[in-house]
């Protein structure tokens, strides 16, 4: 595709990504036998803001109906990559290079509308962010209504289905018209998950969804993540190593390179990453020797 240098992707090798003479093959490029189906693929993805390169050369897949954890110390590019996946850097002036595909959809192709990408890739943030002026049900259906759905029956059924998926229906079914901000923090986060699920995305991205929650609410969200992973691909940024081992099937380890740019140093099944990593930098991080 044509080279883009502002708020888009540069794919020097055309539709298939970078060419071999431009970049040495990486072990991360090899297909993983444990992954039966790929929902999304990232190849040689870098993100820059002006002259600052935040993260470089990231290649890994998001497996269908599996949880992939992105772990690493602060400032190593985990959230930056997560936001690149559903084109959130379009709004912040970030430059994304490389290749990101959702199935056959080239996420950064000139013909691909950002709204289409975000309808297929849901996002849940660190802190619960329900729309404060909307009711519970209005929050859940906001994406559908933005996309032009007006049929009240369709909206009502979609809201109930999403709230059930988010394990919140029994809690709020008698106060659907109450302000969403009246819910507890954990309930608000599940509401935000329901809002993301209501548009039936193919992938759900979660940026430290438990960081602002108490232990009980954290356990509920983790249980929900595991449950949802039987239906949808999930990308989860977390600083909590124990959480990664509890809920994820695969783990991508990010660290800072010598030039202070974030990079992916290892990707694989979570059990392998934490018990027998192949990169000594990974072992040093997951055992607490660095980071």
Pairing relationship of beta strands 233-237 and 203-207 according to DSSP bridges: parallel
> Residue 40 has what pLDDT?
96
- Find the mean pLDDT for residues 21-25: 45
227-269 pLDDT tens trace: 999 999 999 999 999 999 999 999 999 999 999 999 999 999 9
Residue 291: predicted pLDDT: 65
Can you give the pLDDT at residue 11?
A: 43
Please compute the mean of the pLDDT values over residues 17-26 and round it to a whole number: 43
Quote the pTM value: 0.85
Q: Which residues of 177-206 are buried (b: 16+ CB within 10 A; e: fewer)?
A: eebbbebeebbbbbbbbbbbbbbbbbbbbb
The predicted structure's pLDDT at residue 47 = 97
The more confidently predicted of residues 118 and 8 is 118
Q: Say if residue 25's pLDDT is above 80.
A: no
Query: 62-118, pLDDT tens digit by residue?
Result: 999 999 999 999 999 999 999 999 999 998 889 999 999 999 999 999 999 998 999
- What's the pLDDT tens digit per position in 31-59? 555 788 999 999 999 999 999 999 999 99
Give yes or no for residue 20 having a pLDDT over 70: no
The pLDDT-based confidence of 13 (bands split at 50, 70, 90) is: very low
120-175 tens-digit pLDDT: 999 999 999 999 999 999 999 999 998 899 999 999 999 999 999 999 999 999 99
Q: What is the pLDDT of residue 35?
A: 81
How confident is the model at residue 93, as a pLDDT? 86
Residues near 258 by beta carbon (within 8 Å), at least 6 away in sequence: none
Is the model's pLDDT at 290 over the cut of 90?
A: no
């Amino acid at each position: 595709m044509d080279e883009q240098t502002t708020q888009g992707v540069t794919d020097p090798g055309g539709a298939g990504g970078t060419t071999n003479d431009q970049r040495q093959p990486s072990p991360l490029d090899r297909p993983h036998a444990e992954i039966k189906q790929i929902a999304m693929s990232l190849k040689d993805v870098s993100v820059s803001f002006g002259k600052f390169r935040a993260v470089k050369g990231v290649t890994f897949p998001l497996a269908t109906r599996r949880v992939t954890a992105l772990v690493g110390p602060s400032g190593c590019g985990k959230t930056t990559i997560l936001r690149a996946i559903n084109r959130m850097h379009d709004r912040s002036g970030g430059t994304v290079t490389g290749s990101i595909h959702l199935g056959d959809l080239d996420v950064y192709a000139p013909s691909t509308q950002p709204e289409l990408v975000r309808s297929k890739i849901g996002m849940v943030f660190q802190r619960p962010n329900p729309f404060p002026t909307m009711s519970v049900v209005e929050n859940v259906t906001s994406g559908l209504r933005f996309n032009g759905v007006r049929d009240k029956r369709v909206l009502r059924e979609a809201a109930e289905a999403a709230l059930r998926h988010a394990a919140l229906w029994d809690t709020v079914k008698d106060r659907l018209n109450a302000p969403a901000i009246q819910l507890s923090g954990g309930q608000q986060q599940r509401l935000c998950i329901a809002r993301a699920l209501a548009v039936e995305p193919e992938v759900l991205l979660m940026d430290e969804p438990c960081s602002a929650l108490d232990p009980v609410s954290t356990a509920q969200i983790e249980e929900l993540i595991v449950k949802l992973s039987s239906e949808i691909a999930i990308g989860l940024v977390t600083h909590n190593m124990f959480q990664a081992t509890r809920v994820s099937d695969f783990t991508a380890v990010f660290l800072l390179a010598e030039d202070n740019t974030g990079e992916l140093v290892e990707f694989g099944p979570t059990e392998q990453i934490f018990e027998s990593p192949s990169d000594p930098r990974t072992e040093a991080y997951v055992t607490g020797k660095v980071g």
